Every structure is written in C-alpha cells, then in structure tokens.
Structure 1
Amino acid sequence: MRQLLIKTILSPWALLIPLPFWAAVVGLIHLNSHQLIESAGYEMARQRGEVAFNLVQAMRHWNTEHGGVYAPLTERTPENPYLDTPEKTITSPAGVNLTKLNPAYMTRQLGEIMQGSDLEINLTSERLMNPDNKPDAWEAEALQTLGQGDSQEQVEIVGDRFRYMAPLYMEEGCMSCHAKMGYEVGDLRGGLSVSFPVSYVERLTSSLHRESLLTHLLAFLLLSVTGSLAIFGLGRLLKSLNTERSQREIIINERTASLSEEITRRRASQDQLQYLAHHDELTGARNRRWILQQLKDLLPAYSKQSDHLAVMLLDIDHFKKINDTYGHDAGDEVLKGFVKTLQNCLRESDLLGRYGGEEFLVLVPHSNEQTAIQVAERLREAVAQATYFSQAGNLNITASIGIALTSTQPTTSEELVNQADTALYQAKTAGRNRSVIWKG
C-alpha cells in the first residue's frame, strides 16, 4: 500500500492535482478585484459629471449675481425671445448692438458649442419656457425621479454614453423671469444633464484590469508550481524520510510565504478601493455619497424629537481666485488644510463630508438654533484664524456657512440640503465670511 502511494505521488499526473484548486481560488479573488475596479471606475466617471455640473452651475450663479451679461448681437446670438426684461438690447457708445444673456440663454449657447464633443451638456425642464430645451427620454425620466426627492443626482450608462443629471432650484435672481410661470424660491426648476462616452470610463479602468489579470495569472502559476513541487517533495519524503524532510519543509514554507504575501497584497488593494469608495481622494474627508447617506439614515430619529439635527453647508470664499492667482496645487493644499481645521473643531458625533468642489457638508446631531449658530461660528472663526501653507506662501481664507434644522414636520434630506444651500447663498450675497440660518 505504501509503495503504491509513493508510486502514485511520484507519477507525472500527480503534479496536476493542485491546479483546479488554485484556479478556483485565484479566479474568485480576480472576480472580486474586477468588480471593485469597475465600481471605482464608475465612481470616478460620476465625479467627472458632478465636476462638469458644478462648473456650469458656478457660471450660472455668476451670471445671476450680475443680473445677466451683455454680448454682441449677431446671427449666432440673436435676441432672446423668452426674456422679458428692460434694456434687453442696447447700443454701446461705440455703436455696437448688445443683447442680454440670462443664465439659461448662456447655458444653452454653451451646450450648442459643446455639442458633438467628448463632453456634452443640456439644460432642460418639465415646464418649458424655450421649446428647444425639451428633454429627451432619459432626461424626462430623470427629471421625474429628481422631482420626487428620492435622489440628488441621476447617473446611468445609456448605450455608449455615461449620463449624469443633477437638479436646478429656483433662486431669488431667477424670479424676475420665472415668477410668471408659478415658481417660488426653492422649487425644482429643471435639471442640467452631462454626458460623455463610456470609453472614458474604460480608459480609466483598462490598465487596472490588465495589471490585475497579469497579477492573478502570475499568482496562479506560482501557486501551481509550488503546489506541484510540494506533492513531488511529499513523495520523495515517503521514499526517504531522512534526506527529503528538510526539502519538503523548505518547499512548504516557500509556498506558504508566497501565498501569504499575495493574500496580503490583494487585501491591501481591496482596502484601498473600499476606502476610495467612501472618501474623497484629495482631502481624505468622506465623499458626497457617504455624507448624504448618513443624512438620510439620521433623519428618522429626529422626526418626533424636540431637539434637532443641524445641516451645515460650508463654502470657501473666493476659492477660484486662489486657483487663478497661485495655481491649482495651492488650491489643493488649501482644501486639505481646510478639512484638517474643520476636523479639529468637530465633536466625535459630528459628521463631515466633501459635498463638491470647495463645498463641505457638516451634520451636527442634537442641536437647537443657538447650538447650531455656536458650532458654525466656531468653525468659521477657526478657518479665518488658521494659516494655510503652500508653495505660494502662507495663505489666509474665510468661509461662508448656510444652516438648516430639522423641524417637527416631515423633512427629506434633499429639502434640508436645499435649505442650507439657500442660506449659504444668502451668506454669500450679504458679504461672505458669516453664518446664516434658513428661515422658512
């Protein structure tokens, strides 16, 4: 019986015994890594759509703050027939005819310029003033979902395009044109959709997929070879216990060490991908998806309580000027220092997340109006007193804060964020570097 066992183990076919086992183990690990890479690529693509939306929204805010801007009246830029305002078309002292561009007209022209490029935008609404802004089928469905308040954004791959839409809400500066349509401040005005080819996401993940495949193939070959050697060594051990024992131990130790290193490296890679799924890569703060989910999870606990949950939206004042003057590297250093300053001032129960660009969301449980103002002022003063270091030197910044509190009436997370955003806008227009509580 022993001789038969030795003969079987020393047979060339015995070296194939570990192959199915290692193929299954490595295959499962590779499948998990593939799913994590796809998830990370999807998230990076979503962030691209969010950045494009925030950039256009910043330009729209700028246009609104200036009451519209004038551009030369040309065939490409005729009078806006949907704009009812005094001095819609004027003549400059030099005799140039100028026509006013409101935020919607400006966005429409940007969308026409970008039509057919790798990044397209479209302004649309369910209640149209301009028929040319009619939504397509996907945009119409996205607007209905946003109108129900179930989400702050819609993201989907449609055909060969990655599509993103976020809502636009009525502001004070928009009422001069849209009040006649029955809108009030804070109402859902429509949405701005962003789309780009799916190939953009594939470019982000293709190299990671190739590296993952090669890594797992090498791991499979290494494990198969070492496993086969272990079986061969076991046969030699049965044949000669004294001379082959040390060889078997060396082979087993090498196999164990290699497997342990591979598992450790895979686990570190998975932990990194898991971290990126819930954190902002630049500042280390939690990302938008995580902080909004925390807000939704906290709300039910405050629906019938006497105390409140405070939602604060913080924005760095004149952040674009920092980027324009000192460069984006300096802007990145300011963002990282800003997060550290906030984290040092918050309690363990308070939650912080990057909402987008230079905007951050802070959730302060068990608050009333007085407590919320005290916390906001403490954060604002800490930001103003801190010094932010960069290659450009020592920089000082200020921040504006909009605050919203839960009430005894049912309130959704989207409504609270919109209220905080409205209060933030009031803080900006009142001169910045201040805190404002939303009053219904």
Structure 2
Amino acid sequence: MDLVVRAARAVTPAGLGPATIGVRDGRIVAVEPGVVEMAGARVVELADDEVLLPGLVDTHVHVNDPGRAEWEGFGTATRAAAAGGVTTIVDMPLNSLPPTVDVAALEVKRKAASGRVHVDVGFWGGAIPGNEGDLRGLHDEGVFGFKCFLLHSGVDEFPPLDASGLESALRELKSFDAQMIVHAEDSDAIEAAPDPHGEKYHDFLGSRPRGAENLAITQVIEAARRTGARAHILHLSSSDALPLIASARREGVELSVETCPHYLSFVAEEIRDGATQFKCCPPIREAANRELLWQGLADGVIDTIVSDHSPCTPELKRFDTGDFGLAWGGISSLQLGLPAIWTQARQRGFGLTDVVRWMAERPAAQVGMTRKGKLEVGGDADFCVFAPDEAFVVDVAKLKHRNPVSAYDQRPLAGVVRGTWLRGEPVTGGEARGTLLTRGNC
C-alpha cells in the first residue's frame, strides 16, 4: 500500500466503527473492519478523539470565477472547502462572467480553474431562455446537469425560464437523461409580496413568502411529471413543501431535494435588525419551520445538505445601511458546513453516519459520482479527519474564503476538521492538486 489509515472510529458503508483503510495510486483498495496490521509505505493512525469520514461532496457552490473573482475565486473557494473537509465541489453556472450556458463559456471557466484548485471540481451548466440548443453540447462536455431559475436570478446575464420554457428544457434534458436543478420561487408571488426594504428582517421575510416557494415547487413537480425528466429542488427552505414532494415521489416523479446548513442552524426570530449577513433567497425562516426541515431529513424526504456558498464583497452586503432590500443575498459557509450541521444534528439524536449520508454519500449519488462520498473499495481516497467532540468559536477573519463575511461569525460550533486528504495525499493549501471533473470520470 502507498498509505494505510488506521482509525478507532470510521464511517464506512457498514456504519460507525473501527476500520483500517488501504490506499494505492489514490484509490481505496482495502477496507478492513477493526484496527488491524496492514503493510504500507506510510501508516497514519488517527487519535482516539478523531473519526475518519469520507471527504464531503458539496454540489452547490458559487465560485464566481472568472468575472467576479473578487467575490471568491477558485483558489480561495477550494482552500475553504478543504479546510471544511470537503474534497469535491460542483460550481454553479452563474455569477461568473460569462455564465456557463454554452460550451465556449464552459471552456473559459475550465481555463480559469486549471491549476488553481485544491479539491476536485465539477461544473453545472445553465438553462436560460434561448440556449436550449446548447444543452446537449454542454452535456457531452461533461457538466453534471443544468440549473435554472423561475424568477430573476440576481444577475441580468442569467435570466429565468417561464413555465413553457421550463417544460421545453425538461423535455430536451429527458432526451439524454440529464437532470435539471431548480431555484424554485414563483416570480408572480414574489412580485405581489411587499417590497423588501429597511433593517427589519421581518420585512425581508415577508417579501419572500413560503407560498412563492410552494407554488414554484408544485410547478416543477408537474413539469417533471409531464416530461418524465429528472428534477432537483435547490436550497429548500419552506417546510410546507415537504408533503408535496413526498406525494410526488410516491407517484413516481423523479425528484430529489436539498437543503442548506443555514436553514437548519439559524431561525428568523433571532436575526438582528440590519444583520444582512443573514440575507439569502429563499430566506431563513422561523424556528418551527427549521424543526420540520430536520424532520424532513429524518423521514428521507430531503436527500442532501449542501452549502449554497454564495459570497460577495463586504460592501455588497450593505452593512453601511443594514438594508435587507439593497444587500446581496447569500451565505458564505463552505468551510463550516460540517461543524454547523454536526452541532445541530447531535442535539437531535442524529449520528455521524447520518451526516455522512446527507453531506457525502447522497450528494455524490445525485450527480453520478461513483468514486466519491464513501469509504469503500474502488473509491477515491478522499478523507476528512474529524474531531466531533472538540468545539470552537468561528472567527470570520480566520476562514479561507476570500472575503471576511459570514453569518456564522462568533458562533460556537461543535466538531473540528483536523485534516483533509485528496486521493491519498493531505491537502495543505500549498500545491493545487485538485482535478477538474467531468460526468463519468469520477
């Protein structure tokens, strides 16, 4: 073996228990139950308070590079990912310039990322009005699926699909079995809601009502039902939609669902006036809603937890005015997802096997990554060394993403990532050894 890792506790497909992992040429070639002798050029023995997890897979990251790299960038985003135990990300097609809506734009993005990534990186394509003829080409070039909005995306260069455009795009994707991932808020419902303005979070919450999310999710369900295409609901925040989703699945609609650490951690009642670092769309909702989202995870209605890391420069958060209507919406959390979720999960009786299922195994499965998300023979030797009983207080100045803004600043969290390994080598933040992934090669 090139590497042997011995752990008194590891999360494997068999559950949580002692394991010895053998690695050769960056792949796992042996998984033995128990801490056993195994010959290797390098042997790493985890401390008693550490748990070996598979590297996490975050399928919802806005890197914003090229074009808005001052918001983030491939170097800083992937260092932050590695610091949080994330070994694979999939980059969203918008907020970069150009948006990834044709093959030429995908090549621009790959060139920007080449030689600069510290973890493995894949790419989503975008579905916008007028680019239906570009979708097959992007698919053939290896994107993991296609993102669309049903209302203004926040940037003019990535316009939304209307109802007929969504259905037409889904029919096209069905023809080559690609999935559509959808920002599901209904534009008419948002336009009819009060305008967001001022420092009161309650007023901002009223501008993005649950009904807008519920209506849009119903639209996605019905379009997926009619076309037979695969659809995925992004960043679910409204617990009202859970029965709709469960019913659609029982009826055979191919539908998967994600939520995010901020919806499972924060509650609207505790967001201070002017605290625009908490603004995101759809919004963080009330405490009772949060508990129903956790129940949705327990019931298996929600499949995955991913970051929706959507950073910006500090001035775009409008801390000068505290006006939620003017501030950019997005939570910077790529480095903090694992401890944020573990802090909440352990309080509700969930274990690390649940967290791994939500944040590694199922995200990898959703995008067809067969070598990611599990500690099993044949998989990539991507590891997260996690100390679940160590605690820390978040200091935004010490985080690895580009700009020192995060809703988690000064929040106490449980669980510390002590090491991250990519294909059998530790990620140090020095040499960028990540790979640009395409669908089918991971």
Q: Which interval holds the TM-score relative to the shorter structure?
A: under 0.3
* Larger fraction in helix: 1
Taking CA–CA contacts closer than 8 Å with sequence separation of 6 or more, which of the two structures ends up with the larger relative contact order? 2
What's the TM-score, normalizing by structure 2? Answer: 0.26
What's the TM-score, normalizing by structure 1? Answer: 0.26
**Structure with greater Cα Rg:** 1
